[in-house]
Structures are given as C-alpha cells and as structure tokens.
Amino acid sequence: MQNVTSVEMENGKEILRLMRTDHPKQALDFSLMSGAAIEVHDLVKTYQKRHHKPVKAVRGLSFTVRRGEIFGLLGPNGAGKTTTIKILTTLLAPTSGSARVFGQDVVADPLGVRKNICVVIQENAIELYLSVCNNLRTFGRFHGLTGRQIDGQIDRVSDLFGLREYLNEKGMDLSGGLKRRVQVAKTFMVEKPIVFLDEATTGMDAFNKRRTIDAIKEESRKGRTIVLTTHVLDEAEELCDSVAIMNHGRIIARGSVEDVKSMSLRLLYLTLSLAAVSDDLLRAIHIRNPIAVDIKDTTIEVTVREATEALDVLAAVRQTGLLRHFEITSASLEDVFLQLVDTKESAS
C-alpha cells in the first residue's frame, strides 16, 4: 500500500489527510499541499570548543520556503550552508532561534520533521558490495515500502535517472559520478514531500549532472519541495524558483533568481565579432569608460553598466566598418554572486 494525500477543510483551515492506494506506481500529488514548507526565524548556531573562541557558523537567519518550489541555498565554502541544512534536517540543534519544516519544529518534534523529509548528504552513501538494484531495494525496505512498492519505485527511478543499464552492477564498480547519481536516485525512492540535496551533483561529469538535473526538474513538477545547496551557480540558475545567498553565516540576498540578479550591479556584456582590431576601434571603445575590455583575436567582450552604454559602444564600433556580428547579454547569477560575496567580505 502507498500513501497519498488529500486536502480537506476543517474549521476553515486546509488539513492534509493521508490515505492508502493499492497502485504501487501511483505517486503523491504534492501540488495539493499549501502553506510554507520551511519557516526559519533568527536561527543561530555557535560552535564552542574547549580552549577556543566560539565560532558562529549561522548568524540570525530568517527565511521562508514555499511548498512546491525548488529553493537554492548558495554561498562559498564556510558560508554556513551545510550547518543550516543539518539544523533543518534535525542532525544538529540550533543555539537559538527556531525552524519549522512542514509545520513541525526541528527541536520540539524532530521525528515529525523526519517523517516528511529525505536527505542527500555531501558524502557518497551507497553500499559498495551491493548492486545498484539492491541499493535501491534496501533503501525502500528501510523506509517501510512493500515489495510491490519497491519494484514499482525501482522501475520509476531507474528510468528517471537513467540507471536501468547499471542495475546489476555493484557500487564499487561505478564511477564517482554514477555513485552520486545512485545516491540521489535512492532519495526519490520514497514519496516524501520535501527533499534536501546538499551538493547533489558534486563529482559528476557533464553527462551524469545533466541526467540528475533533468530528474530533479521532473520530480519538482509533482509539487515536491526541493532544497539544494550548490557551488555551481549556472545549475542553481537553471533549477531554482528562488535562492538565498549566504556569506559568513548570514543571508546577503534572497528572492527569485531575477530578483537577486537585480539586487546587484546590473552588468551587460557586449560581444563584438570583428573583421580586424584597430587602434581607432579600441580608442572608440575605451573613451566610453567600460568596466572591462577583453580581447581574444578578433573578438572583443566589453562589460558595461547600462544598456545606453552598450548602445554607445556598439554605435562607435559600427562607424569603423569592422563589425561583423554582435551580441548583448545580461549578468548571470554567478556574476552577481561573486560581486555580492566580495562586497560582503570586504565589509566584514
């Protein structure tokens, strides 16, 4: 039997109901769930070692994650991302503040939180002496799935994550990227409404990463809430509905990807393909005081702050008669991330 949810009204409030179904492949419709998935208020975590100064890993975090969204927690090494995830998944107690996951307090009701979550930790956690199939089967049994449910879920996730051809291979014989893919696939064997992915694509090559990203997107379409940390900013830009950027234990920017990008200097990149690069052309560019000019053979990339500056540069270059092709692009999330983090560090 497999759990599904429904929503009923009780005293004017939406109440989630758990029901059972005999269909082993029927997935939960998480899109019916309403309200906040995660609520964090003034969260603090201080590590205190004997004979050492206390270290504040998390300094007064407050944020909310909506149900059904993919939320990215971004930041450099040591920013406090993993500490925050450990608190939200009840692996670590906060020093002060509060956090609720699907309405359950992480300190007062850790078991209630764990019933609603699955977690992919940074370290690979697959059984090396078991086949991929038995890794998935063992994980399903551990979470109380019946044999019929397990067979259905193995069939589903092996297709979703492109693992069917590897089902009979032992964990020890897999590449590092495939081991990581199996670990992420295991997490989606059980129908939990929220999944935490801590650096889920670490060590993956481009092929493994693409299969995993596509699978995460597919799972999110059910309305499942996914919280991920990542160092790969273009990955976050592709996947996330909203993000929070952490640095030195604090959130320095949060919102949708576009909102966060607009919080910083809105850089524009003008890429010019030229018949040749002349001194007159370079003078015409530099007189406009761009932020940066990068020359590679007969291609020049000019970084400016405003659209009007990009158009001025483009007009000047056109007058030289050397322009073959141009392209204007806006700053990526990675550009903004680096600028915000650098600014925060210099102010610390």
Strands (E), the chain: 2-10, 13-21, 36-47, 55-66, 70-74, 96-101, 104-105, 117-120, 194-198, 225-230, 242-247, 250-256, 268-274, 292-296, 299-304, 323-330
Residues of the chain with CATH 3.40.50.300: 22-262
At 19-35, the pLDDT tens digits run 333 333 334 555 445 57
Does the global pTM surpass 0.75?
no
Q: With beta carbons less than 8 A apart as the criterion, state whether 247 and 312 touch.
A: no
Residues of the chain within CATH 3.30.70.1150 domain(s) are: 267-330
Half-sphere exposure of 146 (CA within 13 A, CB side): 11
State the pLDDT at residue 51. 82
Q: How many Å from the N-terminal Cα to the C-terminal Cα in the chain? A: 54
Dist. CA 137–CA 154, nearest whole Å? 7
CATH dotted code for 22-262: 3.40.50.300
Predicted confidence (pLDDT) per residue in 276-333, tens digit: 998 888 988 988 888 888 888 899 988 887 788 888 999 999 988 889 999 888 767 7
Q: Which fold has domain 267-330?
A: Alpha-Beta Plaits (3.30.70)
- Report the C-alpha gap between 337 and 111 in whole angstroms: 35
